Structure 1
């Protein structure tokens, strides 16, 4: 074939590509780009911020109430660990199924029902008069958080066009550290009070931690109201072939963001032919056969994930996430309790190291539980101002990785950065055992939490890069589930190990991070 013929063929192919009709998803991306960024996205991110705080409170309120409620609920160390871990049991049970149902029935349904149910069970938790009622409430809070979390993440990304989506999700991720700071500040303002209220002749006794949970429940109530006012994802409507509903939402976004009339919107009449033609004329049997075909195709697309090399990457990242999340959430969730112990026992003898103080506390707790008489009065090891200040400091330190990892990751590579972060965690976790001052305890816990949070972000980046689009969501769900199981195991094991002696849990966590460092070497650098 001559060069002229080849050139003509290339031109024909190019003309065919240029005239190719865009898909509905490509069209919606163009329409979202035409809508721009404005007040609608401010409203979207504000709603997401409030919802994220409500979600973080599911796990973060428990560590703050453990010291002040230990006598009211008669909790030992193991019961405290179970209370910390219970929300993760609920999350683990429903997270994968919730993701599938959200894609099938829409995001808004699960956001509204998730945050509405979360408010209800938070109020029940605030009314708790026994440990059993509180732990059951926390279990259902975990379930409802998992339902709303996947939907909130999806709806935030699906109102953004491709070029700004990553930045919006990164901004949303930074809300986590801000939420931790805000929650610590609110906890400081409420839990240091001496509020008590007895109702119905002592049938219900409300203590300060009950009021604390009541006040924190308003975040989920506000989220419930805000998500009712937010429209459904237009991408979901397009996926369900409900083009008329999607177009109305795009028009609303355009007018809110630009302040211009509908007539100036280039895509005001988008998909009108599809609404009048394809949707109304398509028989129900074709819909059923299409759904069956999509299910078979989806199962076929998942097969590569269970073949080499993807199955190896899935196994090793899941194992690393199991171990690293166990460390991260033990450090994060037990910090307020341990800080309260340090604050209390360092006032008795400031020359003690952390393990000496923890061993003294566990011995006192054993004596209290074994030598109880009717004359004994339980005095809780309540958190003072220092504990809340330390939690705020930890939150501020955890913001740093969002900036540092973004600068270093392209220069040194994700694997090298992950190995370095894991190695730092080994040294810091080992150093906690010998911390002999309040400053050292806060510094080491903060660095450990911040570096662990960086590792969480890196494993997510590994997953996005290593797994193709057809298996990426399932891979993320599997890896997140392994991390939540690790959190559950870590929070149950920590008090048991602490009861054996302070050095046991910290040496165990150090060994865990040595394993993570070793496994990270087998990951590809890019």
Structure 2
């Protein structure tokens, strides 16, 4: 027969429990807990949360919307400063009497700056903080970009733009990291895709602003220089950099970065502030945080070179190596093809409008013939007469940019509803883009071919999906470096795509499109090896 507990031991046990609850009753109430837990209730365990649990408790409200708006402003500011520089060069071509070589040097400055500074920004983001790196980068970029409006010579303009884009390029990666680490898993994917849709509208934004400013006729003599429309355009396009930098003063550092840096108290304060701004009811329930993240290494005080080594080498060693290769490959596909699209876009618009305006003239049939027709016409014109100096922006080009921007944003917002299915989205984007690219060369109708050419830009929708993997697949200690190295790959791929596709598309058009299609279809195959989607119920 089992031994029975003596009566006096049961009475003693109950008495101790009652006494213990009476002593801690007020402490439980002050901490926001009820005093009716059963005996043996572990209050410390109840107050300890993982980071994901704590950020989920902080809710999704006003703070998250403000953060999303600020990060969206920062990333479109980067787009305007880097890619909007192309219309600034157009406006400055007459003022500085630029030849083709000088224009090429100027247009390469944004790519050169972002490529060289991508690695340092990754290190700064992972060691000093996401918010701090953004604040420094956007502030300096705004000042230098504004100063470039008063450049007395094209070389001064080139140097200042190199410096400006070197700093603002930080926004490409740090915005995704800061936003992704400050929101709950439930909304993170959708927010990242929404922010990407804003970036995709950047092309239409700077074309519209340029149309309103460059077509104006004014001139003010300032002594050393003449203030004309392109200088005003430079100042206006730099404004979002300053606006986003000021907005960052009112936002918090990534709580995940703080926790990873052994600053648990500061991380708790940030999450509590998010809780309060989101107007959650009751007392803040989290008292202790744990990161609970596989493969993560907390930041330590080590010498600079050793720290640099620790931030970089793990990305190219198992278990992170395979993921790094996949993401870099997908990034190269997106940026090489989409950047080439933006370069050829204005020329194709002019060709389409020209053929529609002259219906009695037999024009080229199909996209490749249109491109060949444009190239031969340009070559003939350059041999027979000097090309006129043009500083304005055509309304049809702006209209096409707006249509493209609205379509891209609408699709991005639509797929943001499927943000929890990133792998499915990635496969679909690369598959559709590859098939459209192959179909482009087989269509002889000019308008249909031009619409299919727009379909090639569909691959650009993969930016948000791929960069969300930079947030998800890497531990906090390496996330900033991985994303910034991804930006380096993006800029190198964009520069390579513009030059390679631009060089071969006029002489081997069909082959170029088939190679691009195969390249994008290979992206669909690689996407199949991405981690399975985790659908949150």
TM class by shorter chain equals 0.7 to 0.9
Quote the offset at 1:104 in angstroms: 0.7
Residue 486 in 1 paired to residue 493 in 2? yes
Is 2:284 the counterpart of 1:266?
Answer: yes
1:393 maps to 403
CA contact (8 A) 2:331 2:466 kept: yes
The residue that corresponds to 2:517 in the other structure is: 513
What secondary structure, in the 3-state scheme, does the structure 1 residue paired with 2:381 have? helix
- Counterpart check, 1:359 vs 2:392: no
- Secondary structure, aligned partner of 1:231: coil
Query: Residue 85 and residue 507 in structure 1: after superposition, are their counterparts in 2 closer, same or farther (change >3 A)?
Result: farther
Shift of 1:340: 5.3
Match of 2:431 in 1: 420
Question: 1:123-522 to 2 correspondence within 5 Å?
Answer: 123-200=146-223, 203-258=224-279, 264-267=282-285, 270=287, 288=301, 301-302=314-315, 304-305=317-318, 314-315=324-325, 318-319=328-329, 321-336=331-346, 339=349, 351-353=362-364, 354-355=370-371, 356-365=373-382, 378-380=388-390, 382-402=392-412, 403=414, 413=424, 417=428, 420-427=431-438, 430=441, 436=446, 439=447, 443-449=451-457, 451-457=458-464, 459-460=466-467, 476-493=483-500, 502-504=506-508, 507-518=511-522, 520-521=524-525
Higher radius of gyration, 1 or 2 = 2
Taking the aligned partners of 1:74 and 1:240, their CA distance within structure 2 comes to 52
Q: Within 5 Å, give how 1:80-99 maps onto structure 2.
A: 80-99=103-122
Superposed CA deviations along residues 37-58 of structure 1, whole A, max 9, x for unmatched, are: 2222222122122212211102
Shift of 1:389: 0.7
Shift of residue 331, structure 1, vs aligned partner:
0.9
* Structure-1-length-normalised TM-score: 0.74
Structure-1 separation of matches of 2:117 and 2:46: 36
SS at match of 1:253: helix
After superposing the two structures, state which structure 1 stretch, 129-138 or 488-497, moved more. Answer: 488-497
Conserved in 1, the CA contact under 8 Å of 2:189 and 2:420?
A: no
What CA distance in whole angstroms lies between the structure 2 residues aligned with 1:70 and 1:478? 33
Change (3 A) 1:189 1:109: same
Distance in structure 1 (CA, Å) of the matches to 2:415 and 2:272? 39
Q: 1:426 to 1:167 in 2, by over 3 A?
A: closer
Q: C-alpha distance in 1, partners of 2:401/2:490?
A: 23
Hey, what's the Cα distance between the residues in 2 that align with 1:379 and 1:38?
A: 51
396-405 or 104-113: bigger deviation: 396-405
Matched pairs, number: 474
The C-alpha deviation readout for 1:391-437, integer Å capped at 9, x for no partner, is 001112223543359769969956753553243242355369x774x
Residue number in structure 1 paired with 2:77: 54
| Range 210-219 or range 81-90, more displaced | 81-90
How far apart, in 2, do the equivalents of 1:444 and 1:518 lie? Answer: 20
More divergent stretch after superposition (387-396 vs 486-495): 486-495
List per-residue Cα deviations over 1:361-381 (Å, max 9, x = no partner).
34434655xx6xxxxx94317
Distance 1:103 1:219, change over 3 A: same
Q: How many angstroms apart in 2 are the aligned matches of 1:380 and 1:27?
A: 59
Unaligned runs of 5+ in 1: 1-17, 275-285, 372-376
Greater shift in the superposed pair: 175-184 or 100-109: 175-184
Report the Cα offset of residue 187 of structure 1: 2.8
Q: Could you tell which deviates more after superposition, 76-85 or 184-193?
A: 76-85
Displacement, 1:289? 7.2
Shift of 1:474: 5.7
- Residue aligned with 1:398, SS: helix
Inter-partner Cα distance in structure 1 for 2:470 and 2:155: 38
Distance 1:389 1:271, change over 3 A: same
Q: TM-score, normalising length from structure 2?
A: 0.73
Q: Which residue of 1 is the match for residue 14 of structure 2?
A: none
Whichever structure has more helix as a proportion of its residues is: 1
Query: Equivalents in 2 of 1:251, 1:295: separation in Å?
Result: 32
Query: Is the Cα contact below 8 Å between 2:74 and 2:244 reproduced in 1?
Result: yes
1:387–1:288 CA distance, 2 compared to 1 (3 A): closer
The question of whether the paired residues in 1 share the 8 Å contact of 2:332 and 2:493 is answered with yes
